[in-house]
Amino acid sequence: MEITLLLCGMAVAVLVASSIAERFDLPAPLLLVVVGVAASYAPQVPQIYLSEEVVLFGLLPPLLYAAAQNTSLVDFNVNRRPILLLSVGLVVFTAVGVAAVTKLLLPDLPWAVALALGAVVAPPDAVAATAIGRRIGLPRRITTILEGESLLNDATALVALRTALAVAAGSGLDAVEVGVDFVIAAGGGVLVGVVFFFVVAKVRHYVVRDPVIDGAISLVVPFAAFVAAEEIHASGVLAVVFAGLLLGHKAPVLQSAQSRIAERLNWRMVAFFLENAVFLLIGLQAWWIVEGAVDSDLGAGRIVALCAATLGACIALRLLWVFPARYLIVRPGPERAGGPRPPWTFTFILGWAGMRGVVTLAAAFVIPEETEYREVLLLMAFTVVAGTLFLQGTTLPMLARRFNVPGPDPAEDALARATLLQQASKAALHELDDLEYDDRVGVVDLIRQRLDQRNFAAWERLATVEDRESPSDLYNRIRLAMLEAERRRVLEIRSAGTVASEVVADVLAMLDVEESMLDIATEERREVRDSLSLRRTGDSCPDLEAYPAVETVADPVCRTCLDEGLTWVALRQCLVCGEIGCCDSSPGQHATGHFHETGHAVMESAEPGEDWRWCYVHHTTA
């Protein structure tokens, strides 16, 4: 009963604190740590001792798997150089540097134990990087590097920790043995992850068709992969990460649409509770860690100096690593896949975003209880976790704004989405032309009409003119009101009991799916309107290169619409002859008509604040 009440209390605390943080635009991780610290001193709250087994085998696998599934394998591969430099090189550099600082302030501590402490505090946490980085809207490349680093650095840190503890125990490992141990752990972890990917892929492709069973398999994979790797003395972290990366990348091929939607929602819920519970658990450790350190024979002043020096070393060493390594981290030159070379401010933000998390605390508990000054070492690890979360987590948004490090632009995303949908529709129409069918009732015309409507809605989200309701906005508003009326009538019929409950549930689910799609479209439109600018994006082509952007005419109008008595949604300007025409979302679609009449391929948005161009021939934007 006590355990049940404790778990329920933690769940309620997570929900309340997260809701308050969202309501007042506060970072939820930091608020939960504060709540945990305050609760740890409350006599009514039982003392919680977070063991390494609970974290490494209970919390870490699902958190890593959820983060890996949401990480793009393509982006991960593009940024593999900085990810490896940070997840391997920086972890070793930090471990050695922290060990040196600790040894300087505490000469009685054996070097092996000091190195163990360095390995404990070296790896930034995947949960902290994701929770804070995405909240403040860091550039996607920085977020990808942080996530990739924090997915892999745990393996490096745990191998270094075990090696240091083995040396402290008197096994006398040398550098060659350490290197071999690391290669075996890393290679074995990757191999186990790949094996799990192939096994689960075969099962999903040939056996599983039920989304519920498929989702249950997904919940088992991270734990099974972690345990299997650890049983052969390989890295369970890498096994989970690579299984998650590969399965997430191949999900559109291996799983049905229902399975993908269900799995995405399941892992969002699991990740939400575990990520926030982790920060609450970090705070709940405060009381007994502080009390244990105070009982040591070291004075309070020396303990404070050790904690402050360790925290400062972790922050400074990361900055010292990323700036000299900037040439390798940033790339020698621009790459098509990675985009132009980012400025030095991106490197600073990357260096400042090194928050530690629950893995650091869990790894600290691996230090044997008989180790001298163990309680002080635990407090030093706790200080690094709490200090980086508060110092770096609270100042990161301010520094990102101060250095003008922009996050993803919703308008730019809307432009890329519209372009991608246009290219997908082009491929679909080519497939339609190749199909054989006997269409006597106009099904093909209906399909083409729906494709056009979907693409028009995507382009309409780019409109920046205030106080103008686009056709898609009007459709969403009317259809949402109709759906509410439909749902009320279905519920009335359900209450009457004249229709089978399974049939009613199916109809309600259909209405829910349609409403959710409309809600998503409405939210995306709002984000686009709130964005301040539209930056160029997408690929280029010979036509776009031949016709650069120009200043659009003042007060543009579609003359053809005026002659025909029509209204328009948005306007486009031909960059070949300067003709102004209305977009495809408008009744007349005169910009496209102008292209078909003249063959002029490139047009530019004539709307205020927009400077993107579109090629009708190659379906590209710039």
pLDDT for position 380:
92
State whether 484 and 592 are in the same domain. Answer: no
Residue 97 falls inside a structural domain: yes
The per-residue DSSP string of 82-134 comes to: HHHIIIIIIHHHHHHHHHHHHHHH-TTS-HHHHHHHHHHHSSPPHHHHHHHHH
Residue 537 falls inside a structural domain: no
Residue 506 host element (H or E) = helix 501-530
pLDDT band for 26, please (50, 70, 90 cuts): confident
What is the phi-psi region of residue 25: left when phi exceeds 0, alpha when psi lies from -120 to 50, beta otherwise? left
Answer with the one of 503, 530, 557 that is the final residue of a domain: 530
Residue 149 · residue 86 · CB < 8 Å: yes
Per-range mean pLDDT, top range of 111-125, 165-179, 366-380, 530-544:
111-125
Could you tell me what percent of the chain has a pLDDT over 90?
16
pLDDT band for 308, please (50, 70, 90 cuts): very high
Q: What is the mean pLDDT of the chain?
A: 82
pLDDT for position 527:
63
pLDDT band for 334, please (50, 70, 90 cuts): very low
pLDDT band for 338, please (50, 70, 90 cuts): very low
Per-range mean pLDDT, top range of 38-42, 243-247, 343-347, 401-405:
243-247
Provide the number of structural domains found in the chain. 3
State whether 357 and 495 are in the same domain. Answer: no
State whether 498 and 562 are in the same domain. Answer: no
State whether 310 and 432 are in the same domain. Answer: no
CA distance 504 to 207: 30
Does residue 209 surpass a pLDDT of 80? Answer: no
Does residue 196 surpass a pLDDT of 90? Answer: yes
Does residue 409 surpass a pLDDT of 70? Answer: no
State whether 500 and 587 are in the same domain. Answer: no
CA distance 302 to 434: 78
In this prediction, residues 133-161 reach a mean pLDDT of: 81
Residue 170 falls inside a structural domain: yes
State whether 236 and 168 are in the same domain. Answer: yes
Higher pLDDT, 596 or 181: 596
Q: Closest Cα partner for 382 from 357, 402, 404, 405? A: 357
In this prediction, residues 351-367 reach a mean pLDDT of: 83
pLDDT for position 335:
44
Higher pLDDT, 188 or 570: 188
pLDDT band for 537, please (50, 70, 90 cuts): very low
Find the CATH number of the domain harbouring 561: 3.30.40.10
Does residue 246 surpass a pLDDT of 90? Answer: yes
Residue 536 falls inside a structural domain: no
Tens digit of each residue's pLDDT (9 = 90 or more) over 49-58: 777 778 778 8
Residue 357 · residue 278 · CB < 8 Å: yes
State whether 228 and 296 are in the same domain. Answer: yes
State whether 41 and 171 are in the same domain. Answer: yes
Residue 535 falls inside a structural domain: no
- In 592-611, which positions are buried (b, 16+ CB within 10 angstroms) versus exposed (e)? bebbeeeebbbbbbbbeebb
Find the domain containing 547 and state its range.
542-621
Residue 222 falls inside a structural domain: yes
State whether 418 and 465 are in the same domain. Answer: yes
pLDDT for position 97:
94
Find the CATH number of the domain harbouring 101: 1.20.1530.20
Does residue 121 surpass a pLDDT of 90? Answer: yes
pLDDT for position 534:
42
pLDDT for position 337:
43
State whether 42 and 133 are in the same domain. Answer: yes
Residue 175 falls inside a structural domain: yes
Residue 561 · residue 590 · CB < 8 Å: yes
In this prediction, residues 330-343 reach a mean pLDDT of: 53
Distances (CA, A) of 516 to 293, 471, 483: 52, 19, 11
pLDDT for position 336:
43
Does residue 173 surpass a pLDDT of 70? Answer: no
Higher pLDDT, 532 or 140: 140
State whether 347 and 488 are in the same domain. Answer: no
pLDDT band for 485, please (50, 70, 90 cuts): very high
How open is the CA angle 320-322-324, to the nearest 5 degrees? 70
Does residue 464 surpass a pLDDT of 70? Answer: no
Answer with the one of 530, 560, 583 that is the final residue of a domain: 530
Answer with the one of 530, 557, 586 that is the final residue of a domain: 530
Could you identify the residue written with the tokens 């400074």? 316
In this prediction, residues 336-350 reach a mean pLDDT of: 70
593, 594, 600, 601: CA torsion to nearest 10: -40
126 by Cβ neighbours in 10 Å (0-12 / 13-18 / 19+) ranks as: buried
Which tokens go with 373?
């000054």
At 581 the three-state DSSP class reads: strand
State whether 44 and 150 are in the same domain. Answer: yes
Tens digit of each residue's pLDDT (9 = 90 or more) over 566-602: 877 788 899 888 889 988 777 788 888 898 889 898 9
Does residue 332 surpass a pLDDT of 60? Answer: no
